[in-house]
Amino acid sequence: MTCPLLFAFLLAAVDRPVIDLSGGKVQPVPMAVAPALGTPEAGAAVEAVLSQDFDRSGLFRLLDPASFLAAADEPLSGFNYGPWQSVGAQALVKLSCEAPGAEVKCDMRLYDAARGQELLHGTYAAPRPALRLLAHRFGDDVVRYFTREPGVFQTRIAWVRESEPGKQVVASDWDGYAPLPLTAATINLLPSWSPDGKSIAFSSFREGTGAHLFQVDVATQKIRPLLLTGDFATGASWSPDGTRLVYSSSQNDNTDVYLAQADGSGAKRLTDSRGIDISASFSPDGKRIAFVSDRAGTPQIYTMAVDGSDVRRLTFQGNYNQEPAWSPKGDLIAFSGRDEHRVFDLYTVALDGGKVTRLTQNQGTNEKPAWAPNGRYLLFSSTRTGKRQIWMTQPDGSGQRQVTNEKGGASDPAWGPLAK
Amino acid sequence: MIAGAPRSLLAPRKTMPALPALGLAVLLHLLVLVAAFWLPRLFDRARPPRKPIIAHMVALGRPRDPHLLPRKESPPPAAASAPHSLPAPSTKAAPTAPAKHEPTRRELMERAIARAAGRADPDAKEAPDPERAGSATGSPEGTATSAEEGDAYFTAVHDAILEHYIVPSVISERERLYLTASVIAWIGSDGRILRHEFQVKSGNAFFDQALERAIQQAALPAPPADLARSLRDNGVVLNFRP
């Protein structure tokens, strides 16, 4: 009896050479979206939106439909996986849409083509005008399946449209579609979504007395003043629970960070340095605030407790770091920094250890990072194509995509909350 | 029976009671097992003759002033994505990438030996970033500021698997920091992977599937004669990190 056990132990104790492998190529999952079945018009529209969502997400690499070997009318289920495996698909999306009246109804499925398994199966319905939303909903379900995190296809973003008459705050779908102007084209800047997604705070010169804070209701486009105190009040950022705002205000020629209630009342100064303290942004747990200060000679990123105590400097590289944005996961702060070539680019700094990572390089001026609510993407403005436009990137700098294509340019992006 | 007379071997003896005997047997078995486990360590068995793999290569470049903001860790995208025309969504999917040249075993070995000898890879295609931090004697393909000696064959194995080591981007960057998995691979005398077995799974099914794909698709060179038996019988441990 001892012999087999002894043998097993000797086997377990065997010394093997060890090879450490790291630095695997991070690549999207090869995905095929099969031609939609059912009502051609509705199916093709849903398929197009889905394909675009998956492609822009950077999570999937869409295979060219021209390479598909399966028949275009292949049924939704009970098909042969072989032709899909042959073209290299690991994920396969199939859908069938019907639009008998004012409503579109789609049966949509996700398969693991490599293993021949159905992974998701659902029926999605929406009024015809909301057809894009239907595709976004299934897309978010697919993303959640793969990443165990919510997708952003149903979210909205805000940005500033730059035109001859001025700058107006605009809200659009996450991919820049359906832009909806929320303000007139006076000078309106720095939009910031409330956590419930119903309103946007922004800075505006509309009163003619310097920049102050206003709030616009996204559904009604009704604007109301939020903070008209001081020489100026600008750069509002909401606390995660939506009860408070931080902003910068100049009073008696000293610019500091202030904290106020969500309606603008009860303002309290948080910083009191001789330098300029601006661009405040809440941490996702609402306990700390990131901001920019030149108290040490050059603008750098700092954090402090929400009562203004426990101030800590976070960046020590570079001589002009600005616009901090705290990641929803709380581990990184994105910022724009000016390098030795005097060009602003995007960086992240780790809260734990302070490691700075560069996201953009040699592609125009890149500024104003804004996190997606799931922390997987950042919006930013870039001049790489000439006019300033909104772009998106993944937090490691990969998958950079243009979001807006505005004639006069676009800037100051802000990403809205997740769809409920 | 006469006292002092020799006792017959067939004569009945006084036997030990069953319970203490069983206890003694268990104890002896345990002692053998413990010895089997500890003796090899006590005698400090010789390590395998080969050293582990080169983990990183020195990057070609100049050391960077630590006060400056860093350069990108990977080269910037070759070309910006085409602007998206609004509002019509594109129905065209990205074309599939052209088939990549699969290096032959001979090429893999030559490449590994060239690297071990400190020579730049003749296949290197990418122009180095002139401001990239590194060493003047580094390689354009280098990723680190220092390197270790390694074994040519294991370098070739490393490179062949790395060629197919693709981490799905559905795994978040944050999760990638903590994912590790360990796989034992048994390699035949012709370089074929005879079988593989997870020693430790990562806990993320997509990551584990990607590792299996990398191992299955890798074309390994045939091992040198002095390693062939050990790799066939004992295998090699592949420790994966994203």
Confidence of residue B46 (pLDDT cuts 50, 70, 90): very low
Closest by Cβ to B166, choosing from A20, A24, A65: A24
Residue in chain B nearest A23 by alpha carbon: B242
Q: In a mutagenesis test of the B interface, which of A1, A10, A16 is the best target, namely the one with the most B β-carbons within 10 Å?
A: A16
In the predicted model, what is the mean pLDDT of residues A250-265? 91
Within-domain flag for A3: no
Same domain, A321 and A194: yes
Is the pLDDT reported for residue B110 higher than 70? no
Closest by Cβ to A13, choosing from B37, B72, B82: B37
Confidence of residue B118 (pLDDT cuts 50, 70, 90): very low
Beta strands in A73-177 (DSSP E): 91-98, 103-112, 117-127, 156-162, 167-173
Task: Looking at mean pLDDT, say which of A267-271, B82-86, B224-228 comes out highest.
Answer: A267-271
Quick check: helix, strand or coil at residue A123?
Answer: strand
Cα(B96)–Cα(A73) distance, integer angstroms: 23
Same domain, A256 and A184: yes
Same domain, A71 and A189: no
Q: What is the DSSP letter of A129?
A: G
Query: Over chain A, what is the mean pLDDT?
Result: 93
The pTM of this model reads: 0.74
Closest by Cβ to A6, choosing from B33, B96, B173: B33
Same domain, A140 and A176: no
CB contact (8 A) between residue A62 and residue B94: yes
Task: Name the token pair of A193.
Answer: 């979504």
Closest by Cβ to A177, choosing from B87, B173, B174: B87
Q: Which domain holds residue A100?
A: 29-147
CB contact (8 A) between residue A19 and residue B214: no
ipTM of this complex prediction, to 2 decimal places:
0.71
Contacts of A329 in chain B (CB under 8 A): 174
Radius of gyration over every alpha carbon of chain B, rounded to an integer in angstroms: 29
Chain A nearest C-alpha distance from B11 (Å): 30
Within-domain flag for A255: yes
Q: In a mutagenesis test of the B interface, which of A5, A21, A146 is the best target, namely the one with the most B β-carbons within 10 Å?
A: A21
CB contact (8 A) between residue B45 and residue A24: no
Chain B nearest C-alpha distance from A135 (Å): 13
Closest by Cβ to A361, choosing from B76, B158, B166: B76
Sign (positive/negative) of CA torsion B72, B78, B80, B81? Answer: negative
ω into B87 cis (within 30 of 0): yes
Closest by Cβ to B168, choosing from A1, A29, A340: A29
Same domain, A45 and A141: yes
Within-domain flag for A420: no
CATH of the domain at A163: 2.120.10.30
Query: Over chain B, what is the mean pLDDT?
Result: 71
Within-domain flag for A24: no
Within-domain flag for A285: yes
**pLDDT tens column, A270-323:** 999 888 999 999 999 999 999 999 999 999 999 999 999 999 999 999 999 999
Same domain, A301 and A395: yes
Residue in chain B nearest A362 by alpha carbon: B76
Same domain, A179 and A119: no
Percentage of residues in chain A having pLDDT higher than 90: 83
Is the pLDDT reported for residue A259 higher than 80? yes
**pLDDT tens column, B136-176:** 555 555 555 444 444 788 989 999 999 999 999 888 877 88
Within-domain flag for A23: no
**pLDDT tens column, A125-177:** 999 989 999 999 999 999 999 999 999 999 999 999 999 889 999 999 999 99
Closest by Cβ to A358, choosing from B69, B184, B230: B69
Chain A nearest C-alpha distance from B61 (Å): 17
CB contact (8 A) between residue A67 and residue B96: yes
Classify domain B166-242 by CATH architecture.
2-Layer Sandwich (3.30)
Q: Which of A89, A114, A147 is the last residue of a domain?
A: A147
Domain ranges for chain B: 49-63+103-163, 166-242
Same domain, A236 and A212: yes
Contacts of A346 in chain B (CB under 8 A): none
Angle, vertex CA A22, rays to CA A21 and CA A24, nearest 5: 110
CB contact (8 A) between residue B170 and residue A49: no
Count of domains forming chain A: 2
Same domain, A200 and A103: no
Confidence of residue B193 (pLDDT cuts 50, 70, 90): very high
Cα(A162)–Cα(B197) distance, integer angstroms: 58
- Assess contact for A375 and A353: CB atoms under 8 A: no
CB contact (8 A) between residue B74 and residue A345: no
Is the pLDDT reported for residue B53 higher than 70? no
For residue A354, how many C-alpha atoms fall within 13 Å in the half-sphere facing its CB?
A: 12
Is the pLDDT reported for residue B96 higher than 50? no
CB contact (8 A) between residue B238 and residue A19: yes
Confidence of residue B12 (pLDDT cuts 50, 70, 90): low
Within-domain flag for A21: no
Within-domain flag for A326: yes
For residue B65, how many C-alpha atoms fall within 13 Å in the half-sphere facing its CB?
A: 8
User: Per-residue DSSP letters for A283-324?
Assistant: -TTSSEEEEEE-TTSS-EEEEEETTS-S-EE---SSS-EEEE
Is the pLDDT reported for residue A42 higher than 80? yes
Q: Which of A147, A170, A186 is the last residue of a domain?
A: A147
Contacts of A347 in chain B (CB under 8 A): 69-70
- Assess contact for B143 and B59: CB atoms under 8 A: yes
**pLDDT value, residue A177:** 94
Residue in chain A nearest B142 by alpha carbon: A23
